Structure 1
Amino acid sequence: MNTPLWTPSPTAIANSNLTQFREWVNQHRQLSLPTYTALYDWSVSHTADFWESFWQYANINASTPYQTVLSNAQQMPGASWFEGSQLNYAEHLLRCKENKTALHFQGEDRVQRCLSYAELFDAVAKVANQLRAVGVTKGDRVAGFLPNLPETIIAMLATTSLGAVWSSCSPDFGTQGVLDRFSQISPKVLFAVDGYYYNGKTIDCLDKVSVISHALPSVSHLILVPYVGTAALGVETAPTQQTQQWNDLLQGETPALAFTPCAFNDPLFIMYSSGTTGVPKCIVHSVGGTLIQHLKEHLLHGDLKPNDTLFFFTTCGWMMWNWLVTGLATGATLALYDGSPFYPSADVLWQYAERVGFTTFGTSAKYLSALEKSGYQPREHYPLHALKAICSTGSPLLPESYDFVYHHIKSDVRLSSMSGGTDILSCFALGNPILPVYRSALQCRGLGMAVEIWNDDGQPIKGEKGELVCTKPFPSMPIGFWNDQDGSKYQHAYFDRFPNIWCHGDYAELTEEDGLIIYGRSDTVLNPGGVRIGTAEIYRQVETFPEVMESMAVGQQWDGDERVILFVRMQPGQHLDDTLRKRICQQIRSGASPRHVPAKLIEVSDLPRTISGKIVELAVRNVIHGLAVKNTDSLANPEALTLFENLTALQEN
């Protein structure tokens, strides 16, 4: 841990946005903050001053200025930010009106497109005009059942320019999964795609769109977006609904685009929890909180500049899509991709990165692990001269993935593992352009985020594992949950364990270098013999074996205690025999501890995961204990759960 894998050069540090901001703060606040640590400590001890300073530095434009930066600062929930201000999210993303490229797009069908900022502005103006014409006003919900296309960004910006609320699902969601989400928020307009491409297949969506639109009586207008070429065929909708074709919205002269002023805490996005324990919770995020938090992360932690190109491999059903899109507010170029990251071969994203010149490549930890196991090594094929940073999130990044990035992708790159989530639509810990990268650790806690690790007694600890908490309010806290009138569900989700303290549900450790290691979700922490074990601690050992594709550890109640069960999915042509079992157990014993060694090691052909690719340990734990999984529609492969039913090995000592 004490030897950095990467260290920024003095020139890079001096030229970073973060250094410029620190110097700006010193000048405007009459301070002397010499380091990131000093800046961070000030940002969490003087929370309101920090966020006001960043508002000014980032040139956030309010048509009506704020009167108070932070009210009820000691309350979570209950704190209120930038009261009195009126602003518009879309207006900030469309501030650049030049002919420079705003969006690159590449689809699995190899179609490539580019939109300039000027073209993006014109398209948003036309779609917003049509939405206004069909009655969309401030506070209305507009839903998107769409892939990661330029049209999706245009539809979202048109919606939010009117002060309406955007919510999206990717088209790989099952019909019931979409309805579980959209039916709760009663959208007035639905944007839907005719189909999409994945893993060499063309998947038609028109039948699914018909079912969804019929089941949403609140929808008055369905707007069909062409992608695979069947949108013109249309769908059968309810008698109360009208259908429009996307291309018809873009005809004619470009109207003026008026941005509806919104309060800082007005709703902007509705996101959804995974829904594996019931109907997904609808998490409402604010206009101002989303904008200021994302800008802080892009400008300061990501060092994003107007000449950069930001890419993140994501669907519109994952929060990283919303995070990616806010990058437009920096004037940078966004790169979009839709399709399988391994079709027709493992180099598809790296070829795209080299051609366009990605400066930041964002993806999931699972993708990096899968890329390593595929045997493909980007460094052997592309120099990636433009690439400055690789971002990873979705799950803890394995130590071996750090090694893979520096040995086989690029040696001079900032590897920024990030952790936060849909709950806050942003990060608690993430990258930093002026700090070193240490193996296994996220570089730093985010500015303005009073993150600590607490033990069971609610005491802050360092160098030990505990609960990740945030002890002070931050702007991107959710407004609340949709239809949670008394706020009880919101309260229960984050504040029950430690009153007035945000308890995020991550099992983590603060390192001596002030980095963060995430060991997994607290609700999946194993507890054999009363010793708490994060599942990521086991995965880090198991997935060093090239024979293993992926693994899942769960706790099974046994003889009045809990024992660890490890399920492994093998690479094609590989099988789990006794020799490999012994090798895996020995690696876990030596690399972690004897407590981490599973009582049972079982091969399965698949592991259940959410649409966004996260393995669902809790669902498997329920199945092996004979409990119901309440909402299988949230899973990409619900059939995999049957593999864990009535396993003979689980009944044996």
Structure 2
Amino acid sequence: MGAWMTGWVPVEEAQITDFARYASSRVGRDLTGGYRTLWEWSVQDLDGFWSAVWDYFGLPARREGRPALATEAMPGSVWFPGSTLNYAAEVFRGRDDAATAVISVTEDGAPAELSWGELRRQVGSVAASLAALGVSSGDRVVGYLPNSAEAIVAFLATASLGAIWAGCGLDYVGSAAQARFAQLSPVVLITATRSRHGGRVIERSADVAALRAGLSTLAATVVVDDPDSVPGAIPWSSITGGDSLPPVSVPFDHPLWILFSSGTTGRPKGIVHGHGGVVLEQLKHSAFHQDLRAGDRILWYTTPSWMLWNSLVGALLVGATAVCYDGSPAFGRPDALWELAARLRVNTLGTSPGYLASCRKADVRLSDHDLSALVRLGVTGSTFPADLHLWAEHELGPRVQVVSSSGGTDVVTAFASAAPTTPVWAGELSAPCLGVALDSLGPNGESVRDTVGELVVRRPMPSMPLRFWNDPDDVRYRAAYFDTFPDVWRHGDWTTITDRGSVVIHGRSDATLNRHGVRMGSSDIYGPVEELPEIAEALVVGVEQGDGGYWMPLFVTLIEGESLDDPVRQRILAAIRQGASARHVPDEIIAAPGIPHTRTGKKLEVPVKRLLRGEDPEVDPGSVDQPALLDWYRQIRPPMREG
């Protein structure tokens, strides 16, 4: 398949090349022949690879003679039996107390820095305070918080006790937070009552009150900003200045946190991950794929509602500085996020294709900012069109590696991404990640290349879920990933793995466009349509009808001042014919007041498809950025066929 190789020149020396030499000396074979050589070994010898990762990073001594992977099963794999560690302890091991660990920034305030020494002190004090409130190993502590240093402190304190963390941001209304947290029977709620976004103060006192009322198991509520507004609450300041409690060692598979699915297919599922699997995976990804080092600064635009917040926190494991921004990336100006990255001398910046597209349409010039510290731009959250990739590289120059990645909350990491030693093709992900036995399967379960197939993982990863919360006998867990191909993880994405090993993501396989028996991912339509200057965003679905018909509407939102007249319609149709497929020209183009998304920015293709069929969308309204839009789509009906 055609692709554009970018101007990025892979480096010859990075942490991944040092690890390749280290692993070569351990296994007695040369693994320094390039990324493909290292990846193939990493998925063929899971025991050798993950043992080498453990020892390379100096994790606690392992039980002599015990394998890294004692039982290979999905689900049910057993990793590092008998080994103990603690996520929080690994975050603080070997740190320079005087160096900066966390920088917090809001729309209306100056950056606030937290040193490693102060972070350690606060985490220890909050852990002691939580223990005094009755929190013990296995108990749940939940956070309803903005992206801030307090959220990181609260999580690390919880983890240090062996308690289990779950969080979501103030972008969620209280009912959406309750739909998640009430499943967990939490002991303590740590919350804020307000945040800012787009220049507006978002007041959440009423949401906090409703949330507390719906959590009958709470023993205490801690408020980080305005405790007087929450009756009976404990001020954050009173739990951060006392005695300190050090982290306790826990088994490798002891639960660390519970992340929630988006809630677009019913009640949000609680996905349980363990200390050991997350530590290993985040060390591997931060060091080898992102090449993060002690002192580097990483700013990923996210909230605690999204697994990328957990990945941002994971950068602390390699000693990097986490920059927590709470606010709009376009506050006051469309390039506000770039201005912030320049001002804070950020080395790795993470954002979404949607934000980049808005910058391009606003004619943002990145050369207006001093981004000389930036070495890597990470892009994820939705598919990343080739033309948008090339725009970003043109603006930043080939010195900055523009990296697309794809993974999920399910494994709290990426399945495919890049490394500093890999070439980059616009519109593609450079390679499967180390330790990820990625494959693409055709309809009969056969491996396929250079054609669209189902994205699967053939062998276990240590960060795969321990289980789903309240899922006896793993019934929902197995149904989520293993019903289609037994013993193989099916993720639910359409993908193409090229003969050179790069990866293309086409969108969710449950939202496939199947016109005349020819399958296409929705993202293949979005690329050429959303490139048009009149179009702000698009959503396409294929609706199977009871009489055997197939209706494929395209919904578009237009930029201010534009209308969906006939010339615009013709430009849309021409863009799809020339940039995607003449077979997948939509039956109808409809101007919409907006495109509904999850709170993490994913388009609600499947719920909209259900609405157009007159069915229940099976979506938690609290998971939707604009819930009222669902009512608009509910009124749309497929045209009646003649005869």
Q: What TM-score, normalized by structure 2, do the two folds share?
A: 0.97
Query: Partner of 1:532: helix, strand, or coil?
Result: strand
Query: Partner of 2:285: helix, strand, or coil?
Result: helix
Give the Cα separation in 1 of the matches to 2:161 and 2:549: 56
Gaps of 5+ in 1: 237-241
Alpha carbons of 1:154 and 1:469: their partners in 2 closer, same or farther (altered >3 Å)?
same
Name the residue aligned to 2:579.
591
Name the residue aligned to 1:560.
548
| Structure 1 residue 2, shift from structure 2 partner | 5.5
- In 2, are the aligned partners of 1:65 and 1:85 still within 8 Å (CA)? no
Name the residue aligned to 1:538.
525
The aligned runs of 1:54-73 (5 Å cut-off) are 54-62=53-61, 67-73=66-72
- In 1, are the aligned partners of 2:99 and 2:295 still within 8 Å (CA)? no
Give the Cα separation in 2 of the matches to 1:647 and 1:107: 40
Cα distance per residue 1:284-328 (max 9 Å; x no partner): 011111110011000001111113111100000000000110110
Query: Partner of 2:425: helix, strand, or coil?
Result: coil
Amino acid at match of 1:481: F
Query: Partner of 1:180: helix, strand, or coil?
Result: helix
Name the residue aligned to 2:483.
496
Cα distance per residue 1:505-560 (max 9 Å; x no partner): 01000123211000001110111112111000100110110110010000123451
Name the residue aligned to 1:13.
12
| Structure 1 residue 257, shift from structure 2 partner | 3.2
Give the Cα separation in 1 of the matches to 2:253 and 2:292: 26
Aligned match of 2:474 in 468, 480, 487? 487
Give the Cα separation in 1 of the matches to 2:109 and 2:5: 39
| Structure 1 residue 250, shift from structure 2 partner | 2.2
Matched, 1:324 2:312: yes
- In 2, are the aligned partners of 1:63 and 1:261 still within 8 Å (CA)? no
Amino acid at match of 2:17: T
Name the residue aligned to 2:534.
547
| Structure 1 residue 112, shift from structure 2 partner | 1.7
Cα distance per residue 1:148-187 (max 9 Å; x no partner): 0100000000000001111001112122211110000111
| Structure 1 residue 65, shift from structure 2 partner | 6.9
Name the residue aligned to 1:635.
624
| Structure 1 residue 410, shift from structure 2 partner | 3.5
Aligned match of 1:86 in 84, 87, 108? 84
| Structure 1 residue 436, shift from structure 2 partner | 1.0
Name the residue aligned to 1:234.
229
Q: Percent identity?
A: 36
| Structure 1 residue 377, shift from structure 2 partner | 2.1
Name the residue aligned to 1:102.
101
Q: Which moved more, 1:55-64 or 1:468-477?
A: 55-64
Query: Partner of 1:527: helix, strand, or coil?
Result: strand
Matched, 1:305 2:290: no
The aligned runs of 1:397-546 (5 Å cut-off) are 397-546=384-533
- In 2, are the aligned partners of 1:448 and 1:474 still within 8 Å (CA)? yes
Amino acid at match of 1:113: A
| Structure 1 residue 89, shift from structure 2 partner | 0.3
Aligned match of 2:261 in 236, 261, 273? 273
Give the Cα separation in 2 of the matches to 1:382 and 1:27: 44
Amino acid at match of 1:21: F
- In 1, are the aligned partners of 2:97 and 2:116 still within 8 Å (CA)? yes
Alpha carbons of 1:435 and 1:63: their partners in 2 closer, same or farther (altered >3 Å)?
closer
| Structure 1 residue 79, shift from structure 2 partner | 1.2
Name the residue aligned to 2:239.
249
Give the Cα separation in 1 of the matches to 2:527 and 2:64: 49
Name the residue aligned to 2:636.
647
- In 2, are the aligned partners of 1:108 and 1:343 still within 8 Å (CA)? yes
| Structure 1 residue 561, shift from structure 2 partner | 3.0
Name the residue aligned to 1:389.
376
Q: Which moved more, 1:626-635 or 1:85-94?
A: 626-635
Give the Cα separation in 2 of the matches to 1:247 and 1:307: 28
Amino acid at match of 2:23: V
Cα distance per residue 1:88-108 (max 9 Å; x no partner): 001111221421111111101
Gaps of 5+ in 2: none
Query: Partner of 2:583: helix, strand, or coil?
Result: helix
| Structure 1 residue 277, shift from structure 2 partner | 2.0
Amino acid at match of 1:233: D
- In 1, are the aligned partners of 2:3 and 2:427 still within 8 Å (CA)? no
Query: Partner of 2:302: helix, strand, or coil?
Result: coil
Alpha carbons of 1:148 and 1:439: their partners in 2 closer, same or farther (altered >3 Å)?
same
- In 1, are the aligned partners of 2:100 and 2:295 still within 8 Å (CA)? no
Cα distance per residue 1:606-643 (max 9 Å; x no partner): 11111112110111111111111232222121101122
| Structure 1 residue 63, shift from structure 2 partner | 8.2
Name the residue aligned to 2:111.
112
Q: What TM-score, normalized by structure 1, do the two folds share?
A: 0.95
Cα distance per residue 1:112-133 (max 9 Å; x no partner): 2001111111111111110011
| Structure 1 residue 648, shift from structure 2 partner | 6.4
RMSD: 1.5
Alpha carbons of 1:640 and 1:2: their partners in 2 closer, same or farther (altered >3 Å)?
closer
Amino acid at match of 1:251: G
Alpha carbons of 1:531 and 1:334: their partners in 2 closer, same or farther (altered >3 Å)?
same
| Structure 1 residue 446, shift from structure 2 partner | 0.6
Query: Partner of 2:550: helix, strand, or coil?
Result: strand
Matched, 1:369 2:357: yes
Aligned match of 2:570 in 582, 591, 594? 582
The aligned runs of 1:12-161 (5 Å cut-off) are 12-14=11-13, 16-33=14-31, 34-62=33-61, 67-73=66-72, 75-95=73-93, 96-161=95-160
| Structure 1 residue 647, shift from structure 2 partner | 3.0
Query: Partner of 1:71: helix, strand, or coil?
Result: strand
Matched, 1:613 2:601: yes
Amino acid at match of 2:629: A
| Structure 1 residue 111, shift from structure 2 partner | 3.1
- In 1, are the aligned partners of 2:556 and 2:592 still within 8 Å (CA)? yes
Query: Partner of 1:456: helix, strand, or coil?
Result: coil
Cα distance per residue 1:207-259 (max 9 Å; x no partner): 11111111101111100011xxxx142313xxxxx52000111235xx34321
Cα distance per residue 1:364-405 (max 9 Å; x no partner): 2222122222221222x1131111100011111111210121
